[in-house]
Structure 1
Amino acid sequence: MSIQNVNTATPNAIQQRHLIQSPDTSFFSDFKAAYARYQTAPSSDASADAKSSQAVTGLSDVMGLTYTEMAAVRGTSPNDQSAYAAILNRAYTQGDMDDPVAFLKSLTPEEQGVVQRAHCLADSIQPTTMSKEGAYNLLLPEGYQVDFNHDGIQEVGAAKNITFPPLDAPEQVKQAWLTATQNMDEGSMMTYQLRMHIMMYGININDQTSKALTPTDQIDSYRDGVDKFLAWLEYTKASIPADQYARDKAFFSDMKRLLA
Protein backbone atom coordinates (compact mmCIF):
# COMPACT_ATOMS: atom_id res chain seq x y z
CA MET A 1 0.00 0.00 0.00
CA SER A 2 2.95 2.32 -0.60
CA ILE A 3 1.99 5.65 -2.09
CA GLN A 4 5.06 5.65 -4.31
CA ASN A 5 3.45 3.13 -6.67
CA VAL A 6 1.30 5.89 -8.20
CA ASN A 7 4.33 7.55 -9.77
CA THR A 8 7.22 6.36 -11.94
CA ALA A 9 9.64 8.56 -10.00
CA THR A 10 10.55 7.38 -6.53
CA PRO A 11 9.82 10.10 -3.94
CA ASN A 12 12.69 11.18 -1.74
CA ALA A 13 12.27 11.25 2.04
CA ILE A 14 10.95 14.83 2.13
CA GLN A 15 8.48 14.25 -0.71
CA GLN A 16 7.28 11.02 0.87
CA ARG A 17 6.19 12.88 3.99
CA HIS A 18 3.93 15.15 1.93
CA LEU A 19 2.43 12.72 -0.58
CA ILE A 20 -1.25 12.00 -0.10
CA GLN A 21 -3.64 9.75 -1.98
CA SER A 22 -7.26 8.72 -1.51
CA PRO A 23 -7.95 5.14 -0.43
CA ASP A 24 -9.09 3.17 -3.48
CA THR A 25 -11.81 0.53 -3.61
CA SER A 26 -9.47 -2.21 -2.40
CA PHE A 27 -7.82 -0.21 0.39
CA PHE A 28 -9.90 -1.52 3.29
CA SER A 29 -9.85 -5.15 2.18
CA ASP A 30 -6.09 -4.94 1.55
CA PHE A 31 -5.57 -3.41 4.99
CA LYS A 32 -7.58 -6.12 6.75
CA ALA A 33 -5.75 -8.89 4.88
CA ALA A 34 -2.36 -7.36 5.73
CA TYR A 35 -3.38 -6.94 9.37
CA ALA A 36 -4.50 -10.57 9.56
CA ARG A 37 -1.09 -11.67 8.25
CA TYR A 38 0.59 -9.41 10.79
CA GLN A 39 -1.40 -10.91 13.65
CA THR A 40 -0.69 -14.50 12.64
CA ALA A 41 3.03 -14.01 11.96
CA PRO A 42 5.07 -16.41 14.13
CA SER A 43 6.81 -14.81 17.09
CA SER A 44 10.53 -15.31 17.59
CA ASP A 45 12.62 -16.04 20.64
CA ALA A 46 14.53 -12.80 20.16
CA SER A 47 15.08 -10.18 22.83
CA ALA A 48 12.39 -7.67 23.72
CA ASP A 49 14.11 -4.95 21.66
CA ALA A 50 14.38 -7.26 18.65
CA LYS A 51 10.73 -8.26 18.94
CA SER A 52 9.75 -4.59 19.08
CA SER A 53 11.74 -3.89 15.91
CA GLN A 54 10.19 -6.90 14.17
CA ALA A 55 6.70 -5.71 15.14
CA VAL A 56 7.33 -2.26 13.61
CA THR A 57 8.70 -3.87 10.45
CA GLY A 58 5.63 -6.08 10.19
CA LEU A 59 3.32 -3.13 10.71
CA SER A 60 4.91 -1.27 7.82
CA ASP A 61 3.31 -3.80 5.47
CA VAL A 62 -0.05 -2.98 7.06
CA MET A 63 0.19 0.79 7.45
CA GLY A 64 2.17 1.77 4.35
CA LEU A 65 5.45 3.55 3.69
CA THR A 66 4.38 7.13 4.44
CA TYR A 67 2.91 6.21 7.84
CA THR A 68 6.00 4.18 8.73
CA GLU A 69 8.38 7.00 7.84
CA MET A 70 6.32 9.63 9.65
CA ALA A 71 6.09 7.40 12.74
CA ALA A 72 9.89 7.22 12.73
CA VAL A 73 10.21 11.01 12.33
CA ARG A 74 7.75 11.63 15.17
CA GLY A 75 9.15 8.94 17.43
CA THR A 76 5.80 7.13 17.69
CA SER A 77 6.28 4.23 20.08
CA PRO A 78 5.85 0.63 18.86
CA ASN A 79 3.00 0.20 21.34
CA ASP A 80 1.14 3.21 19.92
CA GLN A 81 1.74 2.01 16.36
CA SER A 82 0.35 -1.42 17.18
CA ALA A 83 -2.62 0.01 19.10
CA TYR A 84 -3.47 2.44 16.29
CA ALA A 85 -3.36 -0.35 13.69
CA ALA A 86 -5.73 -2.40 15.86
CA ILE A 87 -8.14 0.55 16.14
CA LEU A 88 -8.16 1.00 12.36
CA ASN A 89 -8.69 -2.70 11.78
CA ARG A 90 -11.64 -2.64 14.16
CA ALA A 91 -13.19 0.33 12.37
CA TYR A 92 -12.74 -1.26 8.95
CA THR A 93 -13.94 -4.71 10.04
CA GLN A 94 -17.05 -3.44 11.82
CA GLY A 95 -18.08 -1.12 9.00
CA ASP A 96 -17.68 1.94 11.21
CA MET A 97 -16.26 4.14 8.45
CA ASP A 98 -19.85 4.93 7.46
CA ASP A 99 -20.07 6.97 10.66
CA PRO A 100 -16.51 7.76 11.76
CA VAL A 101 -17.66 10.38 14.27
CA ALA A 102 -19.71 7.77 16.15
CA PHE A 103 -16.79 5.34 16.08
CA LEU A 104 -14.42 7.91 17.58
CA LYS A 105 -17.00 8.64 20.27
CA SER A 106 -17.08 4.92 21.13
CA LEU A 107 -13.34 4.80 21.82
CA THR A 108 -12.01 4.94 25.35
CA PRO A 109 -10.03 8.04 26.38
CA GLU A 110 -6.88 5.93 26.14
CA GLU A 111 -7.73 4.85 22.58
CA GLN A 112 -8.55 8.42 21.57
CA GLY A 113 -5.11 9.34 22.91
CA VAL A 114 -3.54 6.73 20.63
CA VAL A 115 -5.31 8.26 17.61
CA GLN A 116 -4.26 11.75 18.70
CA ARG A 117 -0.62 10.74 18.99
CA ALA A 118 -0.71 8.82 15.71
CA HIS A 119 -1.56 12.07 13.91
CA CYS A 120 0.65 14.22 16.15
CA LEU A 121 -2.28 16.45 17.16
CA ALA A 122 -1.69 19.10 19.80
CA ASP A 123 -5.16 18.90 21.34
CA SER A 124 -7.20 15.95 22.53
CA ILE A 125 -9.82 14.55 20.16
CA GLN A 126 -13.32 16.03 20.45
CA PRO A 127 -15.49 13.95 18.06
CA THR A 128 -18.65 15.97 18.67
CA THR A 129 -17.04 19.10 17.22
CA MET A 130 -15.53 17.64 14.05
CA SER A 131 -16.88 16.97 10.58
CA LYS A 132 -17.25 13.56 9.00
CA GLU A 133 -14.18 14.36 6.87
CA GLY A 134 -12.14 15.26 9.94
CA ALA A 135 -13.14 12.06 11.73
CA TYR A 136 -12.65 9.90 8.63
CA ASN A 137 -9.11 11.14 8.07
CA LEU A 138 -8.19 10.38 11.69
CA LEU A 139 -9.01 6.76 10.86
CA LEU A 140 -6.71 6.60 7.84
CA PRO A 141 -2.95 6.03 8.19
CA GLU A 142 -0.62 8.84 7.19
CA GLY A 143 -0.40 9.04 3.40
CA TYR A 144 -4.13 8.54 2.85
CA GLN A 145 -6.85 11.18 3.13
CA VAL A 146 -10.23 12.11 1.72
CA ASP A 147 -11.57 15.50 0.65
CA PHE A 148 -15.33 15.05 0.75
CA ASN A 149 -16.21 18.67 -0.08
CA HIS A 150 -13.51 19.02 -2.78
CA ASP A 151 -12.11 22.27 -1.42
CA GLY A 152 -8.48 21.19 -1.67
CA ILE A 153 -8.13 21.26 2.13
CA GLN A 154 -8.15 18.01 4.08
CA GLU A 155 -9.61 18.13 7.57
CA VAL A 156 -7.81 15.82 10.01
CA GLY A 157 -9.71 16.04 13.26
CA ALA A 158 -9.95 19.77 13.89
CA ALA A 159 -6.82 20.48 11.84
CA LYS A 160 -6.87 21.57 8.19
CA ASN A 161 -4.11 20.64 5.78
CA ILE A 162 -3.29 22.04 2.36
CA THR A 163 -1.64 19.59 0.01
CA PHE A 164 -0.50 19.59 -3.58
CA PRO A 165 -1.15 17.91 -5.94
CA PRO A 166 -4.88 17.58 -5.20
CA LEU A 167 -6.15 14.07 -4.53
CA ASP A 168 -7.83 13.86 -7.94
CA ALA A 169 -4.94 15.33 -9.96
CA PRO A 170 -3.93 13.43 -13.12
CA GLU A 171 -0.94 11.14 -12.78
CA GLN A 172 1.14 13.34 -15.10
CA VAL A 173 0.66 16.23 -12.68
CA LYS A 174 1.83 14.09 -9.77
CA GLN A 175 4.84 12.97 -11.77
CA ALA A 176 5.66 16.53 -12.81
CA TRP A 177 5.47 17.70 -9.20
CA LEU A 178 7.79 14.94 -7.98
CA THR A 179 10.34 15.70 -10.68
CA ALA A 180 10.24 19.50 -10.26
CA THR A 181 10.66 19.34 -6.46
CA GLN A 182 13.15 16.46 -6.34
CA ASN A 183 16.08 18.53 -5.09
CA MET A 184 14.20 21.10 -3.00
CA ASP A 185 14.49 21.58 0.72
CA GLU A 186 11.25 21.08 2.64
CA GLY A 187 10.59 24.78 3.20
CA SER A 188 10.87 25.63 -0.48
CA MET A 189 8.70 22.69 -1.46
CA MET A 190 5.98 23.74 0.97
CA THR A 191 6.13 27.30 -0.41
CA TYR A 192 5.48 26.01 -3.93
CA GLN A 193 2.77 23.67 -2.60
CA LEU A 194 0.94 26.74 -1.31
CA ARG A 195 1.45 28.70 -4.53
CA MET A 196 0.18 25.84 -6.66
CA HIS A 197 -2.79 25.38 -4.32
CA ILE A 198 -3.70 29.06 -4.59
CA MET A 199 -3.31 28.81 -8.35
CA MET A 200 -5.98 26.08 -8.41
CA TYR A 201 -8.28 27.19 -5.58
CA GLY A 202 -7.69 30.89 -4.97
CA ILE A 203 -7.33 32.31 -1.47
CA ASN A 204 -9.60 31.05 1.30
CA ILE A 205 -11.16 34.06 3.09
CA ASN A 206 -12.73 33.89 6.57
CA ASP A 207 -12.40 30.09 6.63
CA GLN A 208 -15.09 29.71 3.97
CA THR A 209 -15.20 26.50 1.94
CA SER A 210 -13.99 27.22 -1.57
CA LYS A 211 -14.27 25.23 -4.77
CA ALA A 212 -11.53 24.85 -7.34
CA LEU A 213 -11.32 27.68 -9.86
CA THR A 214 -10.88 25.10 -12.60
CA PRO A 215 -11.30 21.29 -12.78
CA THR A 216 -8.52 19.69 -10.76
CA ASP A 217 -8.86 16.33 -12.51
CA GLN A 218 -7.92 17.77 -15.92
CA ILE A 219 -4.31 18.42 -16.90
CA ASP A 220 -5.19 21.47 -18.98
CA SER A 221 -6.15 23.26 -15.74
CA TYR A 222 -2.57 22.95 -14.51
CA ARG A 223 -1.09 23.90 -17.87
CA ASP A 224 -3.22 27.04 -18.01
CA GLY A 225 -2.39 27.92 -14.42
CA VAL A 226 1.35 27.60 -14.96
CA ASP A 227 1.15 29.69 -18.15
CA LYS A 228 -0.73 32.42 -16.29
CA PHE A 229 1.78 32.43 -13.44
CA LEU A 230 4.69 32.72 -15.87
CA ALA A 231 2.96 35.64 -17.57
CA TRP A 232 2.31 37.31 -14.20
CA LEU A 233 5.95 36.75 -13.26
CA GLU A 234 7.14 38.64 -16.33
CA TYR A 235 4.64 41.42 -15.70
CA THR A 236 5.88 41.92 -12.12
CA LYS A 237 9.57 41.21 -12.79
CA ALA A 238 10.69 44.76 -12.02
CA SER A 239 8.98 44.79 -8.62
CA ILE A 240 10.26 41.53 -7.12
CA PRO A 241 13.78 40.57 -5.98
CA ALA A 242 15.94 39.15 -8.75
CA ASP A 243 16.71 35.94 -6.86
CA GLN A 244 13.02 35.27 -6.23
CA TYR A 245 12.24 35.91 -9.88
CA ALA A 246 14.97 33.49 -10.94
CA ARG A 247 13.75 30.76 -8.58
CA ASP A 248 10.11 31.12 -9.61
CA LYS A 249 11.00 31.33 -13.28
CA ALA A 250 13.04 28.14 -13.07
CA PHE A 251 10.37 26.20 -11.13
CA PHE A 252 7.36 27.18 -13.22
CA SER A 253 9.27 26.79 -16.48
CA ASP A 254 10.19 23.29 -15.34
CA MET A 255 6.54 22.53 -14.51
CA LYS A 256 5.48 23.84 -17.95
CA ARG A 257 7.94 21.50 -19.64
CA LEU A 258 6.91 18.51 -17.55
CA LEU A 259 3.19 19.11 -18.12
CA ALA A 260 3.54 19.48 -21.90
Structure 2
Amino acid sequence: MSIKSVDNTTPNAIQQRHLIQSPGKNFFTDFKAAYARYELPSTTASESSVSDPQNQTPSVAGIADVMGLTFSEMAAVRGTSTQDQNAYAAILNRAYSQGGMDDPVAFLNSLTKEEQGVVQRAHLLVDPVEPSTMSKEGAYNLLLPDGYQVDFNHDGIQEVGAGKNITFPPLDAPEQVKQAWLTATKDMAEGDMMTYQLKMHFMLYGVDINDQTGKALAPTDQIDSYRDGVDKFLAWLEYAKASIPAEQYARDKAFFSDMKRLLI
Protein backbone atom coordinates (compact mmCIF):
# COMPACT_ATOMS: atom_id res chain seq x y z
CA MET A 1 0.00 0.00 0.00
CA SER A 2 2.97 2.35 -0.35
CA ILE A 3 6.11 2.91 -2.32
CA LYS A 4 8.66 0.85 -0.43
CA SER A 5 11.33 0.58 -3.12
CA VAL A 6 12.07 1.48 -6.72
CA ASP A 7 14.10 -1.33 -8.27
CA ASN A 8 16.88 -1.73 -5.70
CA THR A 9 16.74 1.80 -4.31
CA THR A 10 14.82 2.24 -1.06
CA PRO A 11 13.63 5.81 -0.39
CA ASN A 12 14.71 7.51 2.80
CA ALA A 13 12.18 9.17 5.10
CA ILE A 14 12.29 12.53 3.29
CA GLN A 15 11.98 10.95 -0.14
CA GLN A 16 9.14 8.72 1.04
CA ARG A 17 7.06 11.77 1.96
CA HIS A 18 7.33 13.14 -1.58
CA LEU A 19 7.01 10.01 -3.73
CA ILE A 20 3.63 9.37 -5.27
CA GLN A 21 2.17 6.74 -7.55
CA SER A 22 -1.12 6.18 -9.29
CA PRO A 23 -3.55 3.79 -7.61
CA GLY A 24 -3.23 0.57 -9.60
CA LYS A 25 -6.10 -1.56 -10.86
CA ASN A 26 -6.15 -3.56 -7.61
CA PHE A 27 -5.74 -0.59 -5.27
CA PHE A 28 -9.37 -0.23 -4.21
CA THR A 29 -9.91 -3.98 -3.85
CA ASP A 30 -6.74 -4.33 -1.78
CA PHE A 31 -7.72 -1.36 0.39
CA LYS A 32 -11.17 -2.77 1.16
CA ALA A 33 -9.70 -6.18 1.99
CA ALA A 34 -7.11 -4.63 4.29
CA TYR A 35 -9.76 -2.45 5.93
CA ALA A 36 -11.97 -5.48 6.57
CA ARG A 37 -9.06 -7.22 8.31
CA TYR A 38 -8.33 -4.06 10.29
CA GLU A 39 -11.95 -3.76 11.47
CA LEU A 40 -12.12 -7.39 12.64
CA PRO A 41 -10.38 -6.92 16.02
CA SER A 42 -12.72 -4.10 17.04
CA THR A 43 -15.80 -6.21 16.30
CA THR A 44 -14.58 -8.97 18.61
CA ALA A 45 -12.95 -6.77 21.23
CA SER A 46 -15.78 -7.11 23.76
CA GLU A 47 -15.66 -10.90 23.55
CA SER A 48 -11.89 -11.20 23.91
CA SER A 49 -11.38 -8.51 26.52
CA VAL A 50 -12.39 -10.93 29.30
CA SER A 51 -9.46 -13.24 28.60
CA ASP A 52 -7.20 -10.44 27.43
CA PRO A 53 -7.69 -7.25 29.50
CA GLN A 54 -5.14 -5.48 27.30
CA ASN A 55 -7.26 -6.03 24.19
CA GLN A 56 -8.01 -2.70 22.54
CA THR A 57 -9.06 -1.36 19.17
CA PRO A 58 -6.29 -1.42 16.53
CA SER A 59 -3.36 0.92 17.07
CA VAL A 60 -2.01 3.56 14.70
CA ALA A 61 0.70 1.11 13.70
CA GLY A 62 -1.96 -1.31 12.48
CA ILE A 63 -3.60 1.26 10.27
CA ALA A 64 -0.43 1.47 8.16
CA ASP A 65 -1.46 -1.87 6.67
CA VAL A 66 -4.60 -0.19 5.38
CA MET A 67 -3.47 3.33 4.56
CA GLY A 68 0.16 2.72 3.65
CA LEU A 69 3.52 3.72 5.06
CA THR A 70 3.52 7.19 3.49
CA PHE A 71 0.17 8.09 5.06
CA SER A 72 1.33 6.91 8.49
CA GLU A 73 4.57 8.89 8.24
CA MET A 74 2.77 12.02 7.09
CA ALA A 75 0.20 11.59 9.88
CA ALA A 76 3.08 11.62 12.35
CA VAL A 77 4.56 14.74 10.73
CA ARG A 78 1.20 16.53 10.72
CA GLY A 79 0.18 15.35 14.17
CA THR A 80 -3.01 13.73 12.86
CA SER A 81 -4.87 12.17 15.77
CA THR A 82 -5.59 8.45 15.96
CA GLN A 83 -9.31 9.29 15.90
CA ASP A 84 -8.96 11.27 12.66
CA GLN A 85 -6.83 8.55 11.05
CA ASN A 86 -9.48 5.94 11.80
CA ALA A 87 -12.32 8.22 10.71
CA TYR A 88 -10.56 9.08 7.45
CA ALA A 89 -9.94 5.38 6.72
CA ALA A 90 -13.65 4.72 7.26
CA ILE A 91 -14.57 7.54 4.86
CA LEU A 92 -12.27 6.12 2.18
CA ASN A 93 -13.69 2.65 2.66
CA ARG A 94 -17.19 4.04 2.09
CA ALA A 95 -16.08 5.90 -1.02
CA TYR A 96 -14.46 2.79 -2.46
CA SER A 97 -17.36 0.51 -1.51
CA GLN A 98 -20.25 2.73 -2.57
CA GLY A 99 -19.08 4.06 -5.95
CA GLY A 100 -17.92 7.35 -4.51
CA MET A 101 -14.89 7.54 -6.81
CA ASP A 102 -17.16 7.67 -9.88
CA ASP A 103 -18.21 11.16 -8.78
CA PRO A 104 -15.84 12.21 -5.99
CA VAL A 105 -17.19 15.77 -5.90
CA ALA A 106 -20.70 14.46 -5.16
CA PHE A 107 -19.33 12.03 -2.57
CA LEU A 108 -17.48 14.78 -0.72
CA ASN A 109 -20.61 16.90 -0.87
CA SER A 110 -22.57 14.05 0.75
CA LEU A 111 -20.31 14.04 3.81
CA THR A 112 -21.31 15.79 6.99
CA LYS A 113 -19.40 18.91 8.01
CA GLU A 114 -17.69 16.82 10.69
CA GLU A 115 -16.58 14.27 8.10
CA GLN A 116 -15.40 16.99 5.75
CA GLY A 117 -13.38 18.30 8.69
CA VAL A 118 -11.73 14.88 8.99
CA VAL A 119 -10.73 15.02 5.31
CA GLN A 120 -9.44 18.56 5.78
CA ARG A 121 -7.27 17.59 8.73
CA ALA A 122 -6.05 14.38 7.08
CA HIS A 123 -4.62 16.45 4.22
CA LEU A 124 -3.72 19.44 6.43
CA LEU A 125 -5.76 21.80 4.26
CA VAL A 126 -5.85 25.43 5.31
CA ASP A 127 -9.46 25.97 4.25
CA PRO A 128 -12.51 23.81 4.90
CA VAL A 129 -13.46 21.29 2.21
CA GLU A 130 -15.77 22.96 -0.29
CA PRO A 131 -16.57 20.49 -3.09
CA SER A 132 -18.08 23.17 -5.36
CA THR A 133 -14.65 24.82 -5.70
CA MET A 134 -12.76 21.75 -6.91
CA SER A 135 -12.40 19.66 -10.03
CA LYS A 136 -12.91 15.91 -10.24
CA GLU A 137 -9.13 15.50 -9.93
CA GLY A 138 -9.00 17.69 -6.84
CA ALA A 139 -11.83 15.77 -5.16
CA TYR A 140 -10.45 12.38 -6.23
CA ASN A 141 -7.06 13.10 -4.68
CA LEU A 142 -8.69 14.09 -1.38
CA LEU A 143 -10.05 10.54 -1.29
CA LEU A 144 -6.65 8.90 -1.74
CA PRO A 145 -4.20 8.42 1.14
CA ASP A 146 -0.78 10.08 1.00
CA GLY A 147 1.48 8.31 -1.48
CA TYR A 148 -1.24 8.04 -4.13
CA GLN A 149 -2.56 10.65 -6.55
CA VAL A 150 -3.98 10.98 -10.04
CA ASP A 151 -3.22 13.50 -12.78
CA PHE A 152 -6.21 13.25 -15.10
CA ASN A 153 -5.12 16.02 -17.47
CA HIS A 154 -1.43 14.97 -17.54
CA ASP A 155 -0.10 18.45 -16.82
CA GLY A 156 2.38 17.28 -14.17
CA ILE A 157 0.44 19.11 -11.45
CA GLN A 158 -1.79 17.19 -9.06
CA GLU A 159 -4.87 19.04 -7.84
CA VAL A 160 -5.63 18.19 -4.21
CA GLY A 161 -8.87 19.80 -3.18
CA ALA A 162 -8.74 23.35 -4.50
CA GLY A 163 -4.92 23.41 -4.31
CA LYS A 164 -2.21 22.24 -6.66
CA ASN A 165 0.97 20.23 -6.04
CA ILE A 166 4.04 19.87 -8.20
CA THR A 167 5.93 16.63 -7.75
CA PHE A 168 8.74 14.76 -9.43
CA PRO A 169 9.05 12.17 -10.86
CA PRO A 170 5.73 12.28 -12.76
CA LEU A 171 3.26 9.49 -12.13
CA ASP A 172 4.05 7.79 -15.45
CA ALA A 173 7.84 8.18 -15.29
CA PRO A 174 9.88 5.08 -16.22
CA GLU A 175 11.29 3.07 -13.32
CA GLN A 176 14.86 3.99 -14.27
CA VAL A 177 13.98 7.67 -13.89
CA LYS A 178 12.53 7.03 -10.43
CA GLN A 179 15.61 5.09 -9.41
CA ALA A 180 17.91 7.81 -10.77
CA TRP A 181 15.98 10.44 -8.83
CA LEU A 182 16.18 8.52 -5.56
CA THR A 183 19.91 7.94 -5.99
CA ALA A 184 20.67 11.56 -6.93
CA THR A 185 18.70 13.04 -4.02
CA LYS A 186 19.37 10.50 -1.25
CA ASP A 187 21.65 12.80 0.77
CA MET A 188 19.80 16.07 0.10
CA ALA A 189 18.04 18.25 2.61
CA GLU A 190 14.31 18.41 2.00
CA GLY A 191 14.40 22.02 0.83
CA ASP A 192 17.12 21.29 -1.73
CA MET A 193 15.25 18.23 -2.98
CA MET A 194 12.09 20.30 -3.46
CA THR A 195 14.09 22.88 -5.39
CA TYR A 196 15.27 20.21 -7.81
CA GLN A 197 11.75 18.84 -8.07
CA LEU A 198 10.75 22.24 -9.44
CA LYS A 199 13.75 22.42 -11.78
CA MET A 200 12.99 18.97 -13.17
CA HIS A 201 9.30 19.83 -13.52
CA PHE A 202 10.08 23.00 -15.46
CA MET A 203 12.54 21.01 -17.58
CA LEU A 204 9.69 18.70 -18.61
CA TYR A 205 6.73 21.09 -18.73
CA GLY A 206 8.19 24.54 -19.17
CA VAL A 207 7.25 27.52 -16.99
CA ASP A 208 3.56 28.21 -16.46
CA ILE A 209 2.40 31.64 -17.58
CA ASN A 210 -0.67 33.26 -16.04
CA ASP A 211 -1.43 29.99 -14.24
CA GLN A 212 -2.03 28.26 -17.57
CA THR A 213 -0.90 24.65 -17.37
CA GLY A 214 -0.33 22.51 -20.40
CA LYS A 215 1.02 19.26 -21.67
CA ALA A 216 4.59 18.08 -21.24
CA LEU A 217 7.16 19.28 -23.75
CA ALA A 218 8.03 15.62 -24.39
CA PRO A 219 6.43 12.26 -23.44
CA THR A 220 6.92 11.75 -19.70
CA ASP A 221 6.66 7.97 -19.97
CA GLN A 222 9.77 7.74 -22.16
CA ILE A 223 13.28 7.89 -20.72
CA ASP A 224 14.68 9.78 -23.71
CA SER A 225 12.58 12.79 -22.68
CA TYR A 226 14.52 12.97 -19.41
CA ARG A 227 17.87 12.36 -21.06
CA ASP A 228 17.24 15.12 -23.59
CA GLY A 229 15.99 17.49 -20.89
CA VAL A 230 19.05 16.95 -18.71
CA ASP A 231 21.37 17.49 -21.68
CA LYS A 232 19.61 20.74 -22.54
CA PHE A 233 19.80 21.96 -18.94
CA LEU A 234 23.52 21.20 -18.77
CA ALA A 235 24.04 23.06 -22.04
CA TRP A 236 22.08 26.03 -20.68
CA LEU A 237 24.21 26.03 -17.53
CA GLU A 238 27.36 26.46 -19.58
CA TYR A 239 25.74 29.18 -21.68
CA ALA A 240 24.58 31.11 -18.58
CA LYS A 241 27.57 30.32 -16.37
CA ALA A 242 28.82 33.89 -16.23
CA SER A 243 25.48 35.17 -14.90
CA ILE A 244 24.91 32.42 -12.31
CA PRO A 245 26.37 32.55 -8.78
CA ALA A 246 29.33 30.18 -8.63
CA GLU A 247 27.87 28.07 -5.81
CA GLN A 248 24.56 27.63 -7.62
CA TYR A 249 26.34 26.71 -10.85
CA ALA A 250 28.43 24.09 -9.02
CA ARG A 251 25.36 22.58 -7.30
CA ASP A 252 23.31 22.42 -10.49
CA LYS A 253 26.23 21.11 -12.50
CA ALA A 254 26.84 18.32 -9.99
CA PHE A 255 23.16 17.35 -9.75
CA PHE A 256 22.38 17.30 -13.46
CA SER A 257 25.66 15.58 -14.28
CA ASP A 258 24.71 12.93 -11.75
CA MET A 259 21.27 12.54 -13.33
CA LYS A 260 22.86 12.25 -16.76
CA ARG A 261 25.11 9.45 -15.56
CA LEU A 262 22.24 7.63 -13.84
CA LEU A 263 19.96 7.85 -16.88
CA ILE A 264 22.39 6.18 -19.28
For structure 2, which runs of at least 5 residues remain unmatched after alignment?
none
Q: 1:150 aligns with which of 137, 154, 171?
A: 154
Measured in 1, the distance between the counterparts of 2:201 and 2:237 equals 17
Identify the range of structure 1 (199-208 vs 83-92) with the bigger mean alpha-carbon deviation: 199-208
RMSD across aligned C-alpha pairs, in angstroms? 1.3
For structure 1, which runs of at least 5 residues remain unmatched after alignment?
none
Q: 1:112 aligns with which of 110, 116, 122?
A: 116
Question: What residue is the counterpart of 1:204 in the other structure?
Answer: 208
Check whether the contact 2:4–2:11 (CA below 8 A) recurs between aligned residues: yes
Q: Give 1:41-120 correspondences, 5 Å limit.
A: 41=41, 43=45, 45=52, 51=56, 54-120=58-124
Moved over 3 A (4+): 42-47
TM, length-normalised to structure 2: 0.94
TM, length-normalised to structure 1: 0.96
Measured in 1, the distance between the counterparts of 2:134 and 2:190 equals 29
Q: Could you give the per-residue CA deviations for residues 60-115 of structure 1, whole angstroms, max 9, x where no partner exists?
A: 00000100000001010000000000000000011110000000000000000000
Sequence identity of aligned pairs in percent?
79
Q: 1:180 aligns with which of 178, 181, 184?
A: 184
Secondary structure at 1:61 match in 2: helix
Measured in 2, the distance between the counterparts of 1:194 and 1:12 equals 20
TM-superposed deviation, 1:46? 5.8
What is the identity, as a one-letter code, of the residue corresponding to 2:260? K
What is the identity, as a one-letter code, of the residue corresponding to 1:2? S
Check whether the contact 2:234–2:253 (CA below 8 A) recurs between aligned residues: yes
Measured in 2, the distance between the counterparts of 1:150 and 1:134 equals 13
Q: 2:242 aligns with which of 238, 244, 253?
A: 238
What is the identity, as a one-letter code, of the residue corresponding to 2:186? Q
Alignment of 1:128 onto 2:132:
yes
TM-superposed deviation, 1:51? 4.3
Check whether the contact 2:5–2:11 (CA below 8 A) recurs between aligned residues: no
Measured in 2, the distance between the counterparts of 1:185 and 1:5 equals 20
Measured in 2, the distance between the counterparts of 1:189 and 1:219 equals 21
Q: 1:224 aligns with which of 215, 223, 228?
A: 228
Secondary structure at 1:88 match in 2: helix
Cα 1:46–1:179 change in 2 (3 A) is farther
Measured in 1, the distance between the counterparts of 2:133 and 2:235 equals 43
Question: What residue is the counterpart of 2:17 in the other structure?
Answer: 17
